[in-house]
Amino acid sequence: MRKIVIGILTHISGNVNANEVEGDRIRIKKLVSSSGETYPFVSARAVKRGIREKLREFGFDVDPFRIGEGDKLADSGDPIKYVDNDLFGYLYIKGNQQKARISPVSMSPIVAVEHTPIQIDFGGSFPRELNEDVNPTPFEIEVADLIGLMKVVITERCGMFIESERTDQLKKWEEYVKEGKIEKTEKGYELNKNERINRIKAILEILLNEGWAYPRRANFFAMAEHVSAIAYCGEKLYPIWKNMDIENNTFIIPDLRKDDSKKLLKVYNLKSSNIPNEEIERMAEWLVNGKWRGD
């Protein structure tokens, strides 16, 4: 299966994805090693939330969620209409019916690449008017400044759906076929190639160039500020991010074994420039068509 494997080193400052509140302190999400080292992280869910907002800016429809059983928000389960149901998958549950789409875009949390001290930001909520009987309410927020690693795998399954993923929730899929939005195939359904390419181009552009805004932005606004990226296009699954020059915040191209499927293995300095649109288009077209532009 064709896939694009990406490693991203990105700068994060603040508390963009808080953990639990303990007393008056808002904790930061972090991992603690057996030797006591601290590695703050941002969950993949928080990153996907930011990416969904960017996809909406790109003109795509994003799942508003439906009211499921128990009046809980649930996935709509329509990957033809909602781009995030396609790229990030869904779990559709109604009564005894349960249908899941495995995400064709796999994403790790963003985890600090080295031990990172946690600092405390002290604050207080003060009364709007002076009142001797009312005291300010103090609070503390854990913050950190770090370089984090995010790992992403995008497969050719974007825009491709098997029969078991069909929900017929918002509209019967056969109606989408009649409208020309999807095609019936031996294994299920497919969006037309142009739409598949557009969706992949959008997620690549957001991941590698434009970035996204993190949650919890009212008091500590933060956007993705990428430093370096490494990308591989081929049919293998390699941990291409494992060789890093932490001092210079960049990747070292690994020495892969012979790989006839490899079309691209490249490190990008994202501090100095964006990845050219032509390269992003080439990756997206190859993932859908299997043909590398220029071969």
- Distant-in-sequence, close-in-space partners of 123: CB < 8 Å, separation ≥ 6: 138, 139, 140, 141, 219
Residue 142 domain-assigned (yes or no): yes
Residue 225 domain-assigned (yes or no): yes
φ/ψ of 279, rounded to 5, equals -70, -40
Residue 196 domain-assigned (yes or no): yes
Residue 202 domain-assigned (yes or no): yes
pLDDT in tens, 159-203: 999 998 988 665 788 899 999 999 999 989 999 999 999 999 999
Residue 295 domain-assigned (yes or no): no
**CA proximity to 64, closest of 81, 50, 47, 51:** 81
Question: What ranges make up the beta strands (E) of 211-294?
Answer: 225-234, 244-245, 250-251, 264-269
Query: Structural domain tally of the chain?
Result: 1
Residue segments in the chain with a per-residue pLDDT below the cut of 70: 19-20, 22-24, 66-73, 124-128, 130-132, 135, 168-170, 216-219
Residue 294 domain-assigned (yes or no): no
Q: Tokens 């001797």 correspond to what residue?
A: 132
What pLDDT score was predicted for residue 242? Answer: 94
What pLDDT score was predicted for residue 44? Answer: 95
What pLDDT score was predicted for residue 120? Answer: 86
Structural domain of residue 41, as residue ranges?
A: 3-289
pLDDT in tens, 241-274: 999 999 999 999 998 888 889 999 999 999 999 9
What pLDDT score was predicted for residue 66? Answer: 58
Residue 220 domain-assigned (yes or no): yes
φ/ψ of 276, rounded to 5, equals -55, 145
Residue 270 domain-assigned (yes or no): yes
